[in-house]
C-alpha cells in the first residue's frame, strides 16, 4: 500500500503538526549524527583484542544496528505499509542478505569505498522509501521501481557502510572470520529487536483513525531526514573525504 501525493493533502490541522514532526526528526538526527559509528571504548576493544571473541562481537554488532539511525529509518520505511508478517519477513530477509554479503566481503576482501559517499547513498535509500510510500514515483514518473529489488540493492550499500566502519579500525587477523560472522549475527539480532519494537508501536498507531492522514506527514518527515543525512555526508565528503 502507498499513499498518492496530492497538492491539497494537508488539512489545516495536519499543517499544525507537520512542522513540529519535521523539527523533531531533524532534532533527533542532529543529536546523533556525530555519534554514529564506533565509539572510543568499542574501538579500543576491537583494536586491542586478539583471537576469537564471539560474544563481544555479537554485542558490538547488535549495538551498532540498534544505534544505527540510518539503517532503522530505512527499515521503518520498508515496513511502513506491510501488514502481513510474511511480507515483513520477505523484505527484511532481502535486506539482511544484502547487508550481510557486503559487510563480510567488504572486510575480508578489503573492498574500499569512500565512507561519506556510501553513507550518502544510505541517506538516499531513506528518501527513496519515503517517496515510494507516498507513491511519488508513479505519480511523477508513471512507474515505480521494483520494491524488493530496491531493498536488496540498498541492503548492499548498507552492508558496505558497516564494512567501512570496521575498515577504519585495525582488526586482528587471528579469528577475523569468526569475529566478523559474530558481528553480523549481532547485527541481525539488533535488527530483530529494533524491528519488533517498531512493529509493535506501528501496529498501535495503525489502529488510530488518523493513521492514513498522519502517515503522509510521517513519510514527509522520513524524506526530510534522508535529505539531511545526504547533505551531512556530502558536506563531510567535500570538506574531509574528497
Instruction: Give residue-wise pLDDT tens across range 164-175.
Output: 888 877 777 888
Task: Render pLDDT for 185-227 as a digit per residue (tens, 0 to 9).
Answer: 999 999 999 999 999 999 998 888 888 888 999 999 999 999 9
DSSP annotation of 135: T
Mean pLDDT of the chain: 83
Q: What percent of the chain has pLDDT over 90?
A: 49
Q: Pick the more confident residue, 88 or 7.
A: 88
Q: Is the pLDDT of residue 176 over 90?
A: no
Confidence grade of residue 17 (pLDDT, cut at 50, 70, 90): very low
Rg, C-alpha atoms of the chain: 19
Q: What is the pLDDT of residue 221?
A: 92
CA dihedral 77, 1, 132, 74 (to 10 degrees): 10
pLDDT digits (tens, 9 = 90+) for 120-152: 999 999 999 999 999 999 888 888 899 999 999
Q: Residue 37: which of 74, 75, 71, 73 has the closest Cα?
A: 71
Distance CA 134, CA 165 (A): 32
Look up the pTM and report it.
0.83
**Cα–Cα distance between 111 and 151 in angstroms, integer?**
21
Task: Considering the domain delimited by 52-241, tell me its CATH architecture.
Answer: Up-down Bundle (1.20)
pLDDT of residue 171: 76
Give the C-alpha separation, 180 to 192, whole Å. Answer: 18
Give me the residue label for grid cell 559517499. Answer: 117
Q: In angstroms, rounded to a whole number, what is the distance separating the alpha carbons of residues 85 and 94?
A: 14
Cell for 10? 494537508
Amino acid at each position: 500500500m502507498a499513499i498518492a501525493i496530492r497538492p491539497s493533502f494537508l488539512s489545516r490541522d495536519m499543517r499544525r503538526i507537520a512542522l513540529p514532526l519535521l523539527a523533531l526528526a531533524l532534532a533527533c538526527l542532529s543529536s546523533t549524527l556525530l555519534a554514529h559509528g564506533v565509539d572510543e571504548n568499542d574501538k579500543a576493544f576491537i583494536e586491542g583484542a586478539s583471537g576469537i571473541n564471539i560474544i563481544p562481537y555479537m554485542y558490538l554488532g547488535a549495538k551498532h544496528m540498534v544505534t544505527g539511525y540510518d539503517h532503522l529509518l530505512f527499515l521503518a520505511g520498508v515496513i511502513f505499509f506491510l501488514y502481513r508478517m510474511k511480507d515483513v519477513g520477505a523484505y527484511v530477509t532481502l535486506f539482511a542478505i544484502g547487508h550481510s554479503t557486503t559487510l563480510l566481503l567488504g572486510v575480508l576482501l578489503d573492498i574500499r569505498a569512500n565512507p561519506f559517499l556510501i553513507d550518502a547513498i544510505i541517506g538516499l535509500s531513506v528518501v527513496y522509501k519515503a517517496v515510494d510510500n507516498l507513491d511519488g514515483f508513479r505519480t511523477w514518473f508513471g512507474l515505480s521501481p521494483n520494491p524488493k529489488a530496491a531493498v536488496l540493492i540498498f541492503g548492499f550499500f548498507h552492508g558496505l557502510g558497516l564494512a567501512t566502519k570496521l575498515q577504519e579500525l585495525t582488526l586482528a587477523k587471528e579469528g577475523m572470520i569468526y569475529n566478523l560472522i559474530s558481528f553480523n549475527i549481532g547485527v541481525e539480532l539488533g535488527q530483530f529487536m529494533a524491528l519488533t519494537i517498531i512493529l509493535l508501536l506501528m501496529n498501535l498507531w495503525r489502529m488510530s483513525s488518523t493513521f492514513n492522514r498522519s502517515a503522509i506527514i510521517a513519510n514527509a518527515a522520513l524524506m526530510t531526514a534522508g535529505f539531511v543525512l545526504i547533505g551531512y555526508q556530502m558536506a563531510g565528503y567535500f570538506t574531509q573525504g574528497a
